[in-house]
Amino acid sequence: MARKQIEVFSAGCSACKETIEMVKRLAGSLHQVVVHDMQKSDVASKAKGYGVHSVPAVAIDGKLASCCAGRGPEEHVIKAALA
């Protein structure tokens, strides 16, 4: 399994914190997890480039995860993307 870079866009809300915990649990030591603070202007710009419209949002290897285009992160979608 190839190592993936997972980016979590967060605003520090409770849903964001839950998503960060879930992503870190799913990623384990196999994948790199980077948490971005949406309150920083450079992060907001990067998120916009990914098509992030709400937080929390997850990008895997530079692409917004399909779960994050609408209702928010879904564990089974992220798990499948990491397989």
- In the numeric block, the tokens 């202007």 are attached to 41
**Closest listed residue to residue 58, CA positions, set 25, 3, 19:** 19
Please give the Cα distance from 56 to 35 (Å, whole number).
10
- pLDDT of 25: 94
- pLDDT of 34: 97
Q: Which of 9-23, 26-40, 68-82 has the lowest mean pLDDT?
A: 68-82
pLDDT confidence bin for 22, thresholds 50/70/90: very high
**Domains contained in the chain, CATH given:** 5-82 (3.40.30.10)
Q: What is the DSSP letter of 72?
A: -
Q: What is the pTM of this model?
A: 0.80
**Closest listed residue to residue 16, CA positions, set 73, 63, 69:** 73
Tell me the pLDDT tens digit for each residue of 67-83.
Answer: 665 555 677 777 777 87
Q: What is the DSSP letter of 66?
A: G
- Mean pLDDT, rounded, of the chain: 87
